[in-house]
Structure 1
Amino acid sequence: MKKSLFLFCFLLGMLGNWGSVLAQPAQKLINVVVSPDRVDWKCKAKDEVKFTVQVFRNENLLKDVVVDYELGPEYFPTVVKNDVLLAEGKTTLKASMKEPGFLRCKVIAKVDGRRYEGMATVAVDEAKIQPTTANPEDFDVFWMNAIEEARKQPLDPKMTLLPERCTSTQNVYHISYQNEHPGSRMYGILIVPKKSGKYPAVLQVPGAGIRPYGGFNMGENIITLEIGIHGIPVTMPQEAYANLANGALSGYPSVNKNDRDTHYYKRVYLGCVRAVDFLYSLPEFDGSTVGVTGGSQGGALSIVTAGLDPRIKFLAAFYPALCDYAGYLHKRAGGWPHYYRNAQPAANEVETLAYFDVVNFARRVKAPGWYSWGYNDVTCPPTSMYSAYNVIPGAKELHLYLETGHWTYPEQGAERMEWLKDKCGK
């Protein structure tokens, strides 16, 4: 039986809750356990995988339970069965895949009018997964010109001390700086050591959603900057963000996705580079040691920033989103926000989004990176994440927490912090 812990997760792609931090349920009344027949959850193409399914109540097998299940590549099951009776509360299911990808077994137990889900996902030759998204010939020129144009605007940094957030060793500021054109600003929370000296810096980029920020605190010897991406202050009342999430900024990832010059993420990506410019402007910065980190959309932005800006010396990314959008057009799972899961692209969309797809920034990442995710992620499918990871040329290390979905264990978060501090020399 799996032990249950209170876990925090970023649920992205769930309508109205992008980027919300929620607690993973400690324990459900009915526990559906799906166990593959290999400890590392990996196999080769054409290997048969056996999934043992067990349904428990009160730590005992639940007899005469009715389940639905599906087997096959994530989002493309090849076997779907409904209302299967498990007289003894368990069964064994078998499946295989011919191509590299991820083989998923998802089971839903139906008890007393409620549904309880369990799943396991096995990697199939995952190191051979390659992107389906094209690499535009003028990709580097496009982004080099965009950054050059953005830097023609004065950075015009502004810093407001937040006394109520300061400590005996750190000053905390609400900051902003000018982005890619006059009046377009980015906002964030800056934490700076009070003690005189020169310090390394880490940029925290956000998961999806619209919300306030409290700052990313790595201790008294590291500068941190946590930014928002929407060009609005990050210290407003929660009601303001809720109104924007359900109003003007609803569906922001899809804004102008058929025009590379006005797509929403263009100003976002440029704003991440300008955030590094801002860190370099600080007199307390040591002038060299800067990294970037984030999860989901923030994992994507970490890779994007490192791919665009050679000043980034290291990055740490949880379950990156925005990877291999075109996957669905090739009958395999694509990355959040799943543009083509249930729709076909309009004119110029596929070509435009190639300039914003994380796989093409991953191809250009030279900085050493720490990456971490699980195989049961349904928000950022592992097929999409590996399509980016496998093309990264820089030094990389992948820390798998196999059964996790779009959430992290506390130990996983601690491991990231230890790695970042080591790279900062702290």
Structure 2
Amino acid sequence: MALFDLPLDELHAYRSRSVEPEDFDAFWSATLDEARTHDLDARFELCADLGLTTVDVYDVTFAGFGGHPVKGWFVIPAGTTEPLPVLVEFIGYGGGRSLPHAHLLWASAGMAHFVMDTRGQGSGWAPGDTADPVGSGPSLAGFMTQGIEDPATYYFRRVITDAVRAVEAARSHPLADASRTAAIGASQGGGLALAVGGLVTDLAALAPDVPFLCDFPRATRVTDRKPYREIIDYLKTHRGRAEKAFRTLSYFDGVHFAARGSAPALFSVALEDQTCPPSSVFAAYNAYAHADKEIEVYEYNDHEGGGPFQHAAQLTRLPRLLKA
């Protein structure tokens, strides 16, 4: 696929037309206050007999939205005795936490690595273990329209709340240095990292890689590719519901979370990306509030983005920010 979005100079100047709800902060404050009425109950069970000698792995369970159990992995260098910087990672759309040996990079760099499973997902490309016990009104197959009738019932209200609680769970482990916490992720994981960056004000760093869930009004207009296409297909069937649907989506738009970003950030974007259009990524990047921000641009890539090249950039930048 050739370049299909705005030219790079226009992307650097682009601003989203997504309208922030007047009660955005109140909505999220109330949501997180309700979640915190449930005991976090973060449990870390050391895994044995994995065949891994350079890392220690913990199977994690904590209470997310509604007190529902959410799974994760906590991976640290073997024999760690002193608190380490901790990276909290969120997973791409359709994937789950997978198996422990899929998560060796950051422990190999001397950091603690907390991987959050995504409720209800984990069957598209990497296995997961977390159910979503909450139902939905009529929706299209996938997750983008589950509960879209109202912000209070929208699927990503639960997932974003889980993500904030995942940071709290990661920080609760005695070998995690809470003052040196970063949120990272690619695609959906990048969108969740942005949300966490807007809701957790004391992160040390953020690394949203080709982030999804940004600038819904434009993203749904410039790409035919799923997952954004799920929203348009829903509206094709439910004629006349666009205003209500986009109002709901505005509470979950990475652009608005980015406007509250309070940590140094390393973004990435791919200019041939039809899954997360470049303009939607730049909408979040250009809105990002912290002055210390960078974006790696992969001119000839689709949604795979920088792949190992972006990991290399993160391995240079994040340890410096986390003083690792």
User: TM-score, normalising length from structure 1?
Assistant: 0.65
Residue type at the aligned position of 1:226: V
Structure showing greater Rg: 1
Q: Which residue of 2 aligns with 1:23?
A: none
Mapped contact 2:95–2:127 kept (Cα < 8 A): no
Residue type at the aligned position of 1:190: F
Q: Which residue of 1 aligns with 2:185?
A: 294
* In structure 2, distance between residues paired with 1:417 and 1:158: 29
Mapped contact 2:76–2:112 kept (Cα < 8 A): yes
Task: Indicate yes or no: 2:108 matched with 1:223.
Answer: no
Which range moves more in the overlay, 280-289 or 265-274? 280-289
Aligned partner of 1:189 among 73, 77, 94: 73
Q: How many residues align?
A: 301
* In structure 1, distance between residues paired with 2:177 and 2:41: 21
Residue type at the aligned position of 1:138: D
* In structure 2, distance between residues paired with 1:259 and 1:401: 36
Aligned partner of 1:420 among 308, 318, 322: 318
CA drift at 1:379? 0.7
* In structure 1, distance between residues paired with 2:118 and 2:160: 9
Taking only the aligned residue pairs, the percentage that are identical comes to 27
Mapped contact 2:193–2:208 kept (Cα < 8 A): yes
Deviations for 1:343-390, whole angstroms, at most 9, x for unmatched residues? 466152111110011111111112100011221111111111111111
Residue type at the aligned position of 1:420: L
Structure 2 CA distance for partners of 1:406 and 1:309, relative to 1, 3 Å: same
Gaps of 5+ in 2: 131-138
* In structure 2, distance between residues paired with 1:274 and 1:239: 18
Q: Which residue of 2 aligns with 1:150?
A: 35
Q: Which residue of 1 aligns with 2:257?
A: 361
CA drift at 1:282? 0.9
Q: Which residue of 2 aligns with 1:404?
A: 301
Structure 2 CA distance for partners of 1:240 and 1:363, relative to 1, 3 Å: closer
Gaps of 5+ in 1: 1-31, 35-72, 75-100, 103-121, 242-247
Deviations for 1:288-340, whole angstroms, at most 9, x for unmatched residues? 100011111011111111111112210112111111111268x6559952455
> What SS does structure 2 have at the residue aligned with 1:208?
coil
Structure 2 CA distance for partners of 1:287 and 1:239, relative to 1, 3 Å: closer
Structure 2 CA distance for partners of 1:339 and 1:326, relative to 1, 3 Å: farther
> What SS does structure 2 have at the residue aligned with 1:172?
strand
Greater share of strand: 1
Structure 2 CA distance for partners of 1:280 and 1:336, relative to 1, 3 Å: same
Deviations for 1:73-125, whole angstroms, at most 9, x for unmatched residues? 93xxxxxxxxxxxxxxxxxxxxxxxxxx61xxxxxxxxxxxxxxxxxxx3252
* In structure 1, distance between residues paired with 2:14 and 2:283: 6
Structure 2 CA distance for partners of 1:328 and 1:417, relative to 1, 3 Å: closer
Structure 2 CA distance for partners of 1:307 and 1:163, relative to 1, 3 Å: same
Give the alignment of 1:212-361 within 5 angstroms: 212-215=97-100, 216-217=103-104, 218-219=106-107, 221-230=110-119, 250-327=141-218, 332=222, 336-339=227-230, 341=232, 343=235, 346=241, 348-361=244-257
Residue type at the aligned position of 2:245: E
> What SS does structure 2 have at the residue aligned with 1:261?
helix
Structure 2 CA distance for partners of 1:318 and 1:239, relative to 1, 3 Å: closer
Mapped contact 1:187–1:233 kept (Cα < 8 A): no
Mapped contact 2:93–2:121 kept (Cα < 8 A): no
* In structure 1, distance between residues paired with 2:260 and 2:16: 14
> What SS does structure 2 have at the residue aligned with 1:420?
helix
Structure 2 CA distance for partners of 1:238 and 1:134, relative to 1, 3 Å: closer
> What SS does structure 2 have at the residue aligned with 1:278?
helix
Structure 2 CA distance for partners of 1:316 and 1:143, relative to 1, 3 Å: same
* In structure 2, distance between residues paired with 1:258 and 1:203: 30
Residue type at the aligned position of 2:72: G
> What SS does structure 2 have at the residue aligned with 1:390?
helix
> What SS does structure 2 have at the residue aligned with 1:147?
helix
Mapped contact 1:199–1:285 kept (Cα < 8 A): yes
CA drift at 1:127? 2.2
Deviations for 1:266-299, whole angstroms, at most 9, x for unmatched residues? 1100111101111221111223100011111011
Structure 2 CA distance for partners of 1:383 and 1:415, relative to 1, 3 Å: same
* In structure 1, distance between residues paired with 2:307 and 2:219: 29
Task: Indicate yes or no: 2:92 matched with 1:207.
Answer: yes
Structure 2 CA distance for partners of 1:199 and 1:269, relative to 1, 3 Å: same
Q: Which residue of 2 aligns with 1:65?
A: none
Q: Which residue of 2 aligns with 1:48?
A: none
Mapped contact 2:259–2:288 kept (Cα < 8 A): yes
Deviations for 1:192-232, whole angstroms, at most 9, x for unmatched residues? 34221121100011000044523433135311101111168
CA drift at 1:169? 4.6
Mapped contact 2:98–2:127 kept (Cα < 8 A): no
Structure with more contact order per residue of length (Cα contacts < 8 Å, sep ≥ 6) = 2
Mapped contact 1:257–1:263 kept (Cα < 8 A): yes
CA drift at 1:188? 0.8
* In structure 1, distance between residues paired with 2:156 and 2:170: 21
Structure 2 CA distance for partners of 1:167 and 1:240, relative to 1, 3 Å: closer
Residue type at the aligned position of 2:119: H
User: TM-score, normalising length from structure 2?
Assistant: 0.84
Greater share of helix: 2
